[in-house]
Chain A
Amino acid sequence: MSDYILQFLISGITVGSIYALVGLGFTIIYNASDVVNFAQGEFVMIGAMSAVSFSIAGIPLIIAIIMAMMVTVLVGFALNQFAIKPAKGASVVTTIIITIGASIFLRGAALLIWGKDFYSLPAFSGEQPIHIAGATILPQNLWVMGVSVLLVSAVLWFFKYTLLGKAILACSCNRTAAQMVGINVGKMMLLSYGLSAMLGALAGVLIVPITFSSYDAGIMLGLKGFSAAILGGIGNPIGAIVGGLLLGVLESLGAGFISSGYKDAIAFAIILFVLFVRPSGLLGHEHQERV
């Protein structure tokens, strides 16, 4: 039995790391602009699919990955410039619909470019399974977990210890005040979309050797990433990470011990339960209303 638990934990943490990265992407954009970017999942898809295309064209894997990241970052910039910025000052719901429109648009573009086929990348360092304590772990799983840890640490360090990171956070706390102290809010927005896109692209590239990708692979990932961010408390980067890992593990355990058909239902039911008990997520701050 304990063998199984370890196995489920490994796959849970792997997929949870991806959810964490996507959730982190949501959090960064939300922190910079109060917008929930429903096209976040599409960043993951575009990163994966671009990397595959570049790789198929003969470009070495590492370069293909870097180019895919650049493509996705450009898409992120474009999203900010052409969809979010022109709608400055629109209500929350309106902006949600804009990002939903953007996600449909990006999916439509992906459909045109790549069709409905499934694509994959070769595993980064081979497919020889490693046996630890009765469980099997693929090298790719280690890549996912390892790179995620690095990325997450880098992002957290960026926001806590660099002036640029703090400037982005300032924009979300109070846009006008940020402008008053000389922060170029427009540039900060652009940067945060670019950063989120980069995180999404890397997540896509990391996971595609395991799970394949297609034009609509971004939908479920976006949804799960959003759930992770909410579960952890939207706006809190650590919350998104905790939420992502927790969601991945719950899903995996649910699929393993109860039923793979119901795994998503179990995960969402638990999220609902958490929200009923902690209405601002696990690590979110209670919004104090002043009357």
Chain B
Amino acid sequence: MNLLRVKHLEKSFGGVSAISNLSFDLPKGIVFSVIGPNGAGKTTLFNMLCGFYTPDQGSIIFKKENAEYDKEVMYHSLHNMATHQIAACGISRSFQNLQIFFNMTALENVMVGCHLQSSSRFLPSLLRLPSVIKEEQRVKQQALNALAFCHLDHLANEMADSLAYGDLKRLEIARALASKPQLLMLDEPAAGLNDTETQQMSHLIRKICASGVTVLLVEHNMELVMTSSDQILVLNFGHLLAQGTPDEIQNNPVVVKAYLGEDI
């Protein structure tokens, strides 16, 4: 079953085309990587998927939570939605430039991730009604679970601005996971990480996929991409260059020439 379907997507910035006639399907339950040289349009694609940019043309549809069969009505149309509405459909992400809430602790960061999993409103919160207190306990526990999943529970009460870079990258992922998304988008999760940390990240990504969350990955680190991915999409100058399994991509002469280099 397809989780996400992108059709004929177009996006330009002031005359420069960033994405051009891009179409692909993202199947449910896999790790799907998008690779390509700098300027290929990967982050633009990400930002369109989560509503920061509106596509000039084309459509993005996303399978509804309890969809049973593959018909049009079972999909949300994402390309005209605001970001918070897209999040409510079951999509979450981490960011290339860390967007951690530095004014909070690690635990509080992840508790924000639980926003969609809770429902206390403004007025009841002011008065701290019993329902609010009960929900706070539940949310705190859920957040701790997400932290534990990413091996960060020992840092729960530390202020985010005192954490190491590698921990912050995982914290963003824990926060995104706390919202129990169907699709998790990771924007260069291995950027700035050393070899050991990258291996741990690869491990984490596969663990996330095994728990039932589909992962969409943008990454430059080829080792991570080739070891973690089930499918790879190659972008070049905003066009789709190739799509396939890691083996297929590594042996694709067009890809090898355009991106991986001639000597492999």
Chains A and B in contact, CB within 8 Å = yes
From B61-69, B93-101, B206-214, B230-238, the one touching the partner chain is B93-101
Give the chain A neighbours of B118 by CB distance below 8 A. none
Give the complex CA separation of A93 and B47 in angstroms.
31
Among B59-108, those with CB < 8 Å from A are: 95-97, 99
Give the chain A neighbours of B47 by CB distance below 8 A. 291
Q: Does B24 contact A (CB under 8 A)?
A: no
Give the chain B neighbours of A290 by CB distance below 8 A. 97
Q: Does B149 contact A (CB under 8 A)?
A: no
Could you give, for residues 252-291 of chain A, a 1 whenever the CB lies within 8 Å of some chain B CB and a 0 otherwise? 0000000000000000000000000000000000000011
Q: Does B52 contact A (CB under 8 A)?
A: yes
Give the complex CA separation of A249 and B167 in angstroms.
57
Give the complex CA separation of A27 and B43 in angstroms.
35
Dominant SS among interface residues on chain B: loop
Closest CB of chain A to B105's CB: distance in Å?
A: 20
Q: Number of B residues contacting the other chain (C-beta, 8 Å)? A: 7
Give the complex CA separation of A291 and B51 in angstroms.
12
Among B137-171, those with CB < 8 Å from A are: none
Dominant SS among interface residues on chain A: loop
Give the chain A neighbours of B97 by CB distance below 8 A. 290-291
Among B88-132, those with CB < 8 Å from A are: 95-97, 99
A290 — nearest CB in chain B belongs to which residue? B97
Give the complex CA separation of A194 and B43 in angstroms.
44
B13 — nearest CB in chain A belongs to which residue? A288
Give the chain B neighbours of A291 by CB distance below 8 A. 43, 47, 52, 95-97, 99
Give the complex CA separation of A291 and B43 in angstroms.
9
Give the complex CA separation of A290 and B97 in angstroms.
8
Give the chain A neighbours of B96 by CB distance below 8 A. 291
Closest CB of chain A to B224's CB: distance in Å?
A: 21
Closest CB of chain A to B121's CB: distance in Å?
A: 29
Closest CB of chain A to B263's CB: distance in Å?
A: 33
Could you give, for residues 206-230 of chain A, a 1 whenever the CB lies within 8 Å of some chain B CB and a 0 otherwise? 0000000000000000000000000
Closest CB of chain A to B50's CB: distance in Å?
A: 9
B95 — nearest CB in chain A belongs to which residue? A291
A288 — nearest CB in chain B belongs to which residue? B13
Give the complex CA separation of A290 and B99 in angstroms.
11
Closest CB of chain B to A92's CB: distance in Å?
A: 15
Give the chain A neighbours of B95 by CB distance below 8 A. 291
Give the complex CA separation of A291 and B187 in angstroms.
10
Closest CB of chain B to A179's CB: distance in Å?
A: 24
Give the complex CA separation of A290 and B46 in angstroms.
12
Closest CB of chain A to B169's CB: distance in Å?
A: 15
Closest CB of chain B to A204's CB: distance in Å?
A: 42
Give the complex CA separation of A223 and B52 in angstroms.
36
Give the complex CA separation of A290 and B44 in angstroms.
11
B52 — nearest CB in chain A belongs to which residue? A291
B187 — nearest CB in chain A belongs to which residue? A291
B96 — nearest CB in chain A belongs to which residue? A291
Among B26-58, those with CB < 8 Å from A are: 43, 47, 52
Give the complex CA separation of A82 and B97 in angstroms.
36
A289 — nearest CB in chain B belongs to which residue? B52
Give the complex CA separation of A291 and B96 in angstroms.
7
Give the chain A neighbours of B99 by CB distance below 8 A. 291
Closest CB of chain B to A291's CB: distance in Å?
A: 6
B43 — nearest CB in chain A belongs to which residue? A291
Closest CB of chain A to B49's CB: distance in Å?
A: 12
B99 — nearest CB in chain A belongs to which residue? A291
Closest CB of chain A to B103's CB: distance in Å?
A: 12
Could you give, for residues 156-197 of chain A, a 1 whenever the CB lies within 8 Å of some chain B CB and a 0 otherwise? 000000000000000000000000000000000000000000
Give the complex CA separation of A31 and B198 in angstroms.
41
Give the complex CA separation of A82 and B244 in angstroms.
64
B46 — nearest CB in chain A belongs to which residue? A291
Closest CB of chain B to A279's CB: distance in Å?
A: 17
Among A21-40, those with CB < 8 Å from B are: none
Give the complex CA separation of A291 and B97 in angstroms.
6
Could you give, for residues 183-202 of chain B, a 1 whenever the CB lies within 8 Å of some chain A CB and a 0 otherwise? 00000000000000000000
Give the complex CA separation of A52 and B43 in angstroms.
62
Give the complex CA separation of A5 and B167 in angstroms.
66
Give the complex CA separation of A291 and B185 in angstroms.
14
Closest CB of chain B to A216's CB: distance in Å?
A: 37
8 residue pairs of the A-B complex, CB under 8 angstroms, read: A290-B97, A291-B43, A291-B47, A291-B52, A291-B95, A291-B96, A291-B97, A291-B99
Further contacts, 5 of them, CB under 8 A, given A291-B96, A291-B99 = A290-B97, A291-B43, A291-B52, A291-B95, A291-B97
B binding-site residues for A, Cβ under 8 Å? 43, 47, 52, 95-97, 99
A binding-site residues for B, Cβ under 8 Å? 290-291
| Nearest 8 interchain pairs by C-beta | A291-B95, A291-B52, A291-B47, A290-B97, A291-B97, A291-B99, A291-B96, A291-B43
